[in-house]
Structure 1
Amino acid sequence: MIKKRTISMKNYLAYGVGDFLGAGTTALTAVWLLYFYTNFCGLTPIEATFIFAAARVLDAVISPLMGYLTDNFGKTYLGQRFGRRKFFILIGIPLIFSYSVMWAPGMSYIYYLLTYLFFDMVYTMILVPYETLVPEMTDDFKQKAKFSGARISTAQLSAILAGFLPGILLSYLGKDNAISFFYASLVFSILCAIALTLVYLFTWERPKELKSEAELKAEQEKTSLSFKENFKRLIIELLSTFKIKIFRQHLGMYLGGYIAQDIFNATFTYYVVFVLLKEATVASMLIGIMSITQFIAVLGMMPLCIKYGPAAAYRGVVTIFGMSCLAFGVIWYFNLSSIHLILVVLSAIAGLGRGGINYVPWNIYTYISDIDEIITGKRREGIFAGVMTFTRKASQAGAVMLIGISLQFSGFTADSPLQSPEVIHAILFIMVFGAILVLSCGFYVSLKFKLNLKTHKVLIDEINNIKGIGTNSERRISDEGKPVVEMLTGMKVNELWGNNNIGYKEK
């Protein structure tokens, strides 16, 4: 009998607070960094967007490399001593303060480029192994949903802080004082350092008795691959993730929701300041309101995902957010922005949709490695996390780049409170119709997604049968579970458990 580790509230909360890094810094960056660069640092929109573009070129290498590294770090002394995942979280704690260095005002363009690139690497080094921890700690569908709920709930709390804090500091220190953003980033750096310490202390990695024979063999073998063979292995593992049908569906839903939010976030401050002609503090207040209702939405999404399944819940919140984006355009068209209550109520409704969109994909992610295990016979949480992190940051940077380029070519001038009609129309078109288009793509993909509480339980039972720790003593997939397993994997039973060309094959 395998003794399961008890999971208590402190474990859920300790894991959850780790997303102060993933969500808090992302929220502050997505909403304010482009505005900070163009309005306080003297950068043109094109110069600012080049910073984000350079980071994505670097990240195309760093994120999948980090995923590959954390999957294979258990072979090393440090990996065995501190954990193949948790070692990187530990060394990332002091490095997290590089986030504050990014927001120092009055520096050169090269300074902003290099500090952004450095923090981007630190972010990846921590977040990729952090994202693998839930599949490491439990296989239970409901426990995974609770871990995801704790994570995204904390993420929304950090987003509330990211929404309100810059506005509060701008009101206190002066609306033209760039040091407000440095202080806001310093608060987040301190909170992230504390949160990551809790993650390190109160989470764990998969115990040996739950690992497959292939995993244990891979960790025990001290193979020494050449650089060429290691690089080949990395590329094969990276590309193989896209052969997993349900991961492709998951990415479609994830990107559909998150890119829409990235477009909205990068545009919203400009919408409030230059389209509605209000102060930046108003934008901060409205973003804060969205963040509050996002937190409420996450609490409601946990039972909905368990009862109705992630796909159905996702379609509901996508519809709410899409209608909200359209309503922001209606407010401008009918000149209703003077009625502050309308802006407040609409922001609150948008937050409900955004909170649900934030929760569902990261809840789904915790189950992807289970499906991959029955296909490959290996646990590859790291490589999936690397792909997820890269796509997340690439989508955010792409949205910000789109905004910057559009502003530049539409004639935006940072030192003028009144912009031309071309600028106003560009902001509105991207924020409203750009977001709705991407949301529609995610909605369509969700119609094909079949993973839920019932099908996941069948999957885990069949994995345990193959490992010899289930009810089937023949170490094979049962006839009852066969249809569900084939539906989720998109493959025949005789092609599973490594009998395929998915992933790197040892010679």
Structure 2
Amino acid sequence: MPDTAAHAPRRVRLHTYLAYGGNDVLGAGSMAVVSTWILIFYTSFCGLSAAQATIIFGVARVLDAFTSPLIGHLSDNLGRSWLGRRFGRRRFFILAAIPLLPSFAVMWVAGQGFWYYLVTYVLFEMVYAMEIIPYETLASEMATDYATKAKFAGARILIGQMSAIAAAFLPGWLIAWLGPDSPDTYLYMGIIFSGLFMAAATLLYIFSWERPRAAGLDDIAGDRPTLGAAFAALYRNLWSTLRIRAFRLHLGMYLGGYISQDIYNAAFTYFVIFALAGSTAIVANLVGVTYIVQLVAVVLAINFALRLSPAAAYRFAALSFAAGVVIFLVMYAAGYTATAALFWLPVVFAGLGRGALNYIPWATYNYMADVDEIVTGRRREGAFAGVMTFVRKMSQALAVILVGQVMQAAGFVSKSAQQSPQAIAAIVGVLGVGTLAMLVVGVLVSTRFRLTPATHKVLLDEIEHLRGGADAPSSPQAAAVVEDLSGWRYDRLWGNNPVAAPMVR
């Protein structure tokens, strides 16, 4: 009997948190490897220009951005099929992705051409989306209460940070073994991580489950949609998630925190090597220590977000990250090199901020389907996961392509040990101005985000109130809370609005 057939709530145990969190070895681990090393690998060992390298990254992200919502939509509707009933509508995709995960290692073969790297990167992005999109829905599938979902998010980020630490230090160890000029460093790293990805996905499939869907508006009898009708409604349904106020604000915070890190990651390796006269070994050490500090920051952020406000924790995190970036810039202007002991100071500030910025959006994401449910009367975790990934990857693609184009326009030369003053100035400007500008955007959005443990409890109580047949709020205070989170008047909730109207059933 598949897990989805169970009727009694299952107890979330330690091994459940570990299996769920362990899958972020793929989520955070692969992205840590790619964001730190892929551009320098392409430009130093593959002969690609900065523009070509970032175009590969950007094209793969754009293509994946259109694939990810489709996977989210399919996982929402696969439960009607035999495959969904047998393996789980989410977990089927995770199982199918396991034998395809070695595609990560294929990306790191040196000496190939532009089209080889474009195709292999796109292939891995497709496999990554196939596994990660359903994974991102599982916390909401396995738990309903605020605290348990927050612990799932914490387990994910904690283990993800551990994998990111390995992603930073492993190349340094391989460099020490193989030498600084060996491209095999990156191939061996890809093989090791491919094995870890497969193990993590297997454990996730074994120890996860999907809870039965409660009766709601999507249980009303209706014809199963044809494939054509489902595709016609796909993007209409997905973009309807942006009509949920809490989700719009959540996306603003998410993008502010993550795009600031995309820009920082894309420029940081070049900043250390060319602006600070460092090396790839020094980059590995600095990035590794950053991820260690991020691990500590996640532990602090979990407690902060559980007890107080995620938005307040977000603002503290953004301030810390910004302080680290500013200190880096000041030390560069003062003429320090990457060997200076003082460079651990901005690493600590940046790491504390980045760790919390990684955790907080994913902790709040787990509650977005609850806000949507009170508006539509349906559970659409897959749609929200797809939209988040779509927006995230489109914006990430644009950010990284912009970094590459700026560097190329400033005269960056691939495979060169020295760069012109103009190229170095461009690298420093991207790292400073780009990172800080996105942090400011995220902070401004966070001032309007009011989802807390207390308001989430009110939200769940009102969902049950409406599910019981009520059409008036349980109290004026409760009405005010759910109207603020949803962005809709109370009398328009529970399907009485255009958001629910275009749903495919």
Smaller-chain TM-score bracket: over 0.9
Q: Does 1:499 align with 2:500?
A: no
**What fraction of aligned residue pairs are identical, expressed as a percent?**
46
Report the Cα offset of residue 150 of structure 1.
Answer: 0.2
Instruction: Give the aligned partner of residue 293 of structure 2.
Output: 293
| Aligned mates of 2:498, 2:391 — CA distance in 1 | 24
Alignment of 1:229-378 (within 5 A): 229-337=229-337, 340-378=340-378
1:194 aligns with 2:233: no
Match of 1:112 in 2: 117
In the alignment, the residues of structure 1 paired with residue 455 and residue 433 of structure 2 have an alpha-carbon distance, to the nearest angstrom, of 36
What RMSD in Å do the two structures reach over aligned CA positions?
1.6
Match of 2:366, SS? helix
Q: How many residues align?
A: 497
Contact (CA 8 Å) 1:127, 1:389: kept in 2 or not? Answer: no
Equivalent positions of 1:52-451 (< 5 A) are: 52-208=57-213, 211-217=214-220, 223-225=224-226, 227=228, 229-337=229-337, 340-451=340-451
- Is the aligned partner of 1:9 residue 2:6? no
The code of the aligned residue for 2:286 comes to: L
Whole-Å Cα distance in 2 between the matches of residues 194 and 400 of structure 1?
30
Assess if the C-alpha contact under 8 Å between 2:62 and 2:397 holds in 1.
Answer: no
The whole-number CA distance in structure 1 between the counterparts of 2:472 and 2:26 is: 42
Task: Kindly indicate whether the alpha-carbon contact (under 8 Å) linking 1:212 and 1:377 is maintained by their aligned counterparts in 2.
Answer: no
The residue type equivalent to 1:215 in the other structure is D
Number of the residue aligned with 1:452: 452
Cα distance in 1 between the residues matched to 2:460 and 2:322 = 35
> Do the aligned residues in 2 keep the contact of 1:66 with 1:128 (CA within 8 Å)?
yes
Q: Distance in 2 between matches of 1:40 and 1:241?
A: 43
Q: Give the C-alpha shift of residue 339 in structure 1.
A: 5.5
For 1:97, give the aligned amino acid: P
Contact 1:30 1:400 in 2 (8 A): no
Please give the per-residue CA displacement for 1:299-340, whole angstroms capped at 9, x wherever unaligned.
111110011110000000000001111111111100122663
How far apart, CA to CA, are the structure 1 residues paired with 2:279 and 2:503?
Answer: 58
Residues 80 and 69 (structure 1), Cα distance of their counterparts in 2 relative to 1, 3 Å cut: same
Q: Distance in 1 between matches of 2:339 and 2:125?
A: 40
SS at 1:398 equivalent: helix
* Residue equivalent to 1:479: 475
Structure 2 unmatched runs, 5+: 1-6
The one-character-per-residue Cα deviations of 1:255-303 (angstroms, maximum 9, x if unpaired) are 0000000100111110111111111110110000000000011011111
207 and 443 in structure 1: CA distance in 2 versus 1, 3 angstrom threshold: same
User: Displacement, 1:506?
Assistant: 5.3
5+ residue gaps, structure 1, are: none
Question: 1:499: how far off?
Answer: 0.6
1:215–1:378 contact (8 Å) kept in structure 2: yes
Q: Please give the alpha-carbon distance, in whole angstroms, between the structure 2 residues aligned to 1:428 and 1:242.
A: 35
SS of the residue 1:43 aligns to: coil
TM-score by length of 1: 0.95
Cα distance in structure 1, aligned partners of 2:186 and 2:497? 51
Q: TM-score, normalised by structure 2?
A: 0.95
Partner Cα separation in structure 2 for residue 415 and residue 63 of structure 1: 35
Which amino acid is the alignment partner of residue 21 of structure 2? Answer: G
CA shift, 1:213, in A, is 3.2
Distance of 1:75 and 1:167 partners within structure 2: 48
Match of 1:21 in 2: 26
Equivalent position amino acid for 1:259 in 2: I
